[in-house]
Amino acid sequence: MAIDFAAGDFDRGDSVQWVRDGLADPEVLRRAAASAHPLLRRAAARSPHLPPDLLGLLARVEDPVVEDLLGIHHPDTPEEVLMRVYARLGGTFSAWMAETHPRFPREGLAARYADHPDGNYRRLAVRDPAATPALIERLSHDPAVWTRQAAAGDPRLPLHRLREALHIPELASSAGANPALPEDEMAAVLNRTGVPA
């Protein structure tokens, strides 16, 4: 079934008003998600009310904007979509949104990415609950600053390296917020910065 709309239906470059107004209406969502028009699919991808079949349909659409919108707006976005967003946009806000999504994978990241050539992927290894303290320590010396910072803030970082990280300018903030930092050392950090403990 073809869906016709006038140019006036578009109130922004990426949305159709009647779809946005009907984001909770299953029939509007079905028509938009099944459309061949990318703007209609993108408008449907904004809905957190997508039924599972439409979410699956949109997850298979080869449109990076649809993937980004699903990752931002839908609580059940499939892991593989979130990983594609992260892979495409590592280091950007959209990648951060994908990474902090509740369905973003955690298990197996250390085995898959600890030795990846891209530091944005090595940083993902820190998120894996199975990452060992030795791996976290190794990643705290990584060439990529974001990876080092993620490792410095991880409670599995061995205490000797955590203490060292407190004195490295680009790691000090992450290390100072590490929940494994002993209370007396946390108080010393606060005193050095002029914050009463």
In a structure prediction context, what are the per-residue pLDDT tens digits for the chain, which is 197 residues long? 344 444 344 444 445 676 667 677 888 889 989 999 998 899 899 888 889 999 999 999 989 999 999 988 888 999 888 888 888 877 676 677 777 888 888 899 999 999 999 888 899 999 999 999 999 999 999 999 999 999 999 999 999 999 999 999 999 999 999 999 998 888 777 777 777 76
Residues 146, 94, single domain; the answer is: no
Q: Is 163 helix (H, G, I), strand (E, B) or coil?
A: helix
Number of independent structural domains in the chain: 2
8, part of any domain: no
Burial 83-93 (b: 16+ CB within 10 A, else e): bbbbeebbeee
Could you tell me if 31 and 3 are in contact, meaning their C-beta atoms sit under 8 angstroms apart?
yes
Q: Are 24 and 80 contained in the same domain? A: yes
Instruction: Name the domain boundary from 99, 124, 154.
Output: 99
> Is the residue at 137 inside a domain?
yes
**The pLDDT of residue 130:** 96
Burial of 11 (0-12, 13-18, 19+ CB in 10 A): exposed
Which residues partner with 12 through β-bridges?
15
Range of the domain at 65: 13-99
- For 53, half-sphere exposure in the C-beta direction (CA atoms, 13 angstrom radius) is 6
Q: Please indicate, yes or no, whether residues 85 and 150 belong to a single structural domain of this protein.
A: no
Contact yes or no for 98/82 (Cβ under 8 A)? yes
Note the pTM of the prediction, 2 decimals. Answer: 0.68
Q: Are residues 94 and 148 in the same domain?
A: no
Report the distance separating Cα 64 and Cα 19, nearest Å: 19
- Identify whether the C-beta of residue 120 lies closer than 8 Å to the C-beta of residue 146: yes
- Separation of alpha carbons 160 and 192, rounded Å: 19
Same domain, 25 and 88: yes
pLDDT at 7: 37
Asked whether residue 6 is domain-assigned, the answer is no
Which of 80, 67, 22, 65 lies closest to 47, judged by CA? 22
DSSP 44: H
Whether 77 and 149 share a structural domain: no
User: Are both 24 and 93 inside the same structural domain?
Assistant: yes
